[in-house]
Chain A
Amino acid sequence: MRLNTFGTKFMVVCAAALLLAACETTPEKAAMTSGQGASSSTTMAEPAGPQPGTEADLKLNVGDRVFFAFNKQDLSATARATLERQAAWLKKYPNVAVTVEGNCDDRGTREYNLALGSRRANAAKNYLVSLGVQSTRIKTISYGKERPVAVGDNEAAWSQNRNAITVVN
């Protein structure tokens, strides 16, 4: 929120620097953003955080993911609190559209886990919709057990991989 006190152009520069450093955009997007930055002011300052309304902002200041128990899609109190923050954030940035990605650990069969990932993504989406976010702003996709965020064949990794991650389109 401190960023709001700076000028818009400066925010673009900050965001560009952060995004490039984090390698979180495609090369095309990154090049475009840095181009804008290069043509703007020469003001120098330390970036104070992600640009509001971006995926980096969602990740850092809101929480982009919720976690599930083994073979479950029930939303825990923690998960609901995260989704409530996401809903408030989505209402604050009405032009942002997102995709909820459902994921599983690899202790199930491939096709069943594709279905389970879909169940988790829709559980998160439907809760966001129940909180007043327009359904058309939220897509879902399931990766089943294909996109683990943590490796290591143990419960610590599996619990990280049973998730629904909200990403900005």
Chain B
Amino acid sequence: MMTLALTRTLTRLRYGVLLALTLLIPTLSPGVARAELQIDITQGNVNPLPIAIANFYVPDAATGHFGNDIPAVVRADLERSGLFKPLDPTSFIQAPAAMQVQPNFQDWRVINAQALVTGDITAQPDGQLKVEFRLWDVYAQQQMTGLVYVTAPANWRRVAHLISDAIYKRITGEDGYFDTRIVYVAESGPLTHRVKRLAIMDQDGYNQRYLTNGASLVLTPRFSPNQQEITYLSYYGNRPRVYLLNIDTGQQEVVGDFSGMTFAPRFSPDGNTVVMSMAEPDGSSNIFTMDLRSRRVSRLTREPSINTSPCYSPDGKEIAFNSDRGGSQQLYVMNADGSNQHRISFGQGRYATPVWSPRGDLVAFTKILDGTFSIGVMHPDGSGERLLDHSYLEEGPTWAPNGRVIMFYRETQGDAHGRGVHDQLWSVDLTGYNLREVITPTDASDPAWSPLSPLIH
């Protein structure tokens, strides 16, 4: 644990000095004037943009594999987004070494690439890698963007994700989400005695690491805004309470040490407050906040009903939650001080797990109607409900930091003996397209998407 924490801290420090410089080059003479290459990601079912991501040129044999490895990660990132169609590298005509000055665009037009990514990697005297890439508009014959990163070789996957983010942003106009991580609950063992562990991984499923050992039941992890901490529910000592876990140091502390069970925690956008539910002796559950600096506890709801799954708006001024105070489980919004509690969902069925989009314009939720579970979105005033996916059992939506992709977990229906039950993570575009399974080593549930790293963006 100590070694892991130390490694992580060192990695963080290296990220701190990871350099990103924009590569400026003279604009090449454009051919025919044409509209700039771009993707409108607000439209569903777009035709994925054909993009050629060439292997990077690496003069040094010892680090030569990075020339294949980094572009492979970029291809996988962009392909999974559903917005890009990375072309098969075996179809490429021009070799990486030949593109050092400028690609021969004709060679890329004949394979129908609209965008082209080239790059090179050079080992520095201090052992660091300098990774350069350029994104080209093949038809306009222009560089669209170019960046250089200097980092330790161990960070090579992260550099690849940063390149993916830069390409995504340049072509879609939106921030990317590839340099992010997912914390989730890894599940194993029989359904009646499930072992659950907190786990963390890169958004593409690599760099898996377990954060707890499975001795205590753990549920619902959520990132702090600075990514360094997770708040979650643990049954440690058979007392279900809200905890904080520092990912780097492994240090844990109790937040919700109240008389009753505390659960359903989330951070405020500034990271200074945790909002959560507490179970009360009359059987009700109400919503409280704890200021992490002063440890002051405030009650936000006082109802003889269930009030849970609170989630702050990104400006910190409001909190969405679900309550059955009106007879059935519905979505509500209140001010962050508990005032102005009002219902926002009025459709058929039960509504649960409201999660505010990082952009603030939508609330994702779980809907239960006629035995089917759906993931949907609506505006914070309750208008514009749209369902993105449905199945036998799915819940727990979490947003990519750019507010364009939602991850959740699905449980498949088993037979009468409980065989065939699997919990898996899935992601879907806000448009409802591009439904993808997120591959994990074990069954998985309760995903939470990290923000973009504040150290580099």
Q: Which A residues fall within an 8 A CB radius of B?
A: 73, 106-112, 114-116, 118-123, 126, 141-143, 146-149, 151-154, 156-157
The answer to whether the Cβ of B283 comes within 8 Å of any Cβ in the partner chain is yes
**Is B284 positioned at the interface, with any CB of A under 8 Å from its CB?**
yes
The answer to whether A107 and B279 have CB atoms under 8 Å apart is no
Task: Give the total of B residues in contact with A, Cβ under 8 Å.
Answer: 49
Closest chain B residue, CB of each to CB of A156:
B416
Contact A153 B414 (CB under 8 A): yes
Report whether A118 and B279 are in contact in the complex, using a CB–CB cutoff of 8 Å: yes
Cross-chain contact B353 with A114 (CB below 8 angstroms): no
Instruction: Give complex CA distance A118, B309 in Å.
Output: 15
**Residues on A with beta carbons closer than 8 Å to the beta carbon of B350:** 108
Name the distance in Å between A120's Cβ and chain B's nearest Cβ. 8
Residues of A within 8 A of B421 (CB): 151, 153
Interface 1/0s, chain B 405-416, versus A by CB < 8 A? 000000101111
- A-facing residues in B329-380 (Cβ within 8 Å): 329, 350, 352-353, 366, 368, 371
Chain B residues with CB below 8 A from A157, complex form: 416, 418
Q: How many A-B residue pairs have CB under 8 A?
A: 113
CB-CB < 8 A to A110: which residues of B?
A: 219-220, 395-396, 446
Of A115, A116, A126, A148, the contact of B192 (CB 8 Å cutoff): A148
CB neighbours of A107 from chain B (8 A): 368, 371, 393
The answer for the CA separation of A120 and B282 in the assembled complex, in Å, is 10
Interface pair A73/B261, CB less than 8 Å apart? no
Nearest A residue to B371, CB-CB = A107
Measured between beta carbons, the chain A residues less than 8 angstroms from B281 are 122
Say whether B392 faces chain A, with CB atoms less than 8 Å apart: yes
Q: CB-CB contacts of B166-202 with A at 8 A, as 1s and 0s?
A: 0000000000000000000000001111101000000
Residues of A within 8 A of B238 (CB): 141
Determine whether B263 belongs to the interface, using a CB cutoff of 8 Å to chain A.
yes
Within the complex, the shortest CB–CB distance from B237 to chain A, in Å, comes to 11
Q: Is B308 an interface residue (CB 8 A)?
A: yes
Q: Smallest distance from the beta carbon of A55 to chain B beta carbons, Å? A: 15
A156 to B416, CA, bound (A): 9
Instruction: Judge whether B306 is part of the interface by a CB distance below 8 angstroms.
Output: yes
- Given A110-B219, A112-B352, A153-B392 in contact, is the A122-B282 Cβ separation under 8 Å? yes
Contacts beyond the supplied A112-B324, A114-B263, A146-B219: 12 A-B pairs with Cβ under 8 Å? A109-B309, A109-B352, A110-B219, A110-B220, A111-B264, A112-B306, A112-B308, A118-B283, A121-B283, A143-B217, A151-B417, A153-B421
User: 1/0 contact trace for B207-248 toward A, CB 8 Å?
Assistant: 000000000010110000000000001000010100000000
With A111-B263, A146-B217 given, is the CB distance from A153 to B413 under 8 Å? yes
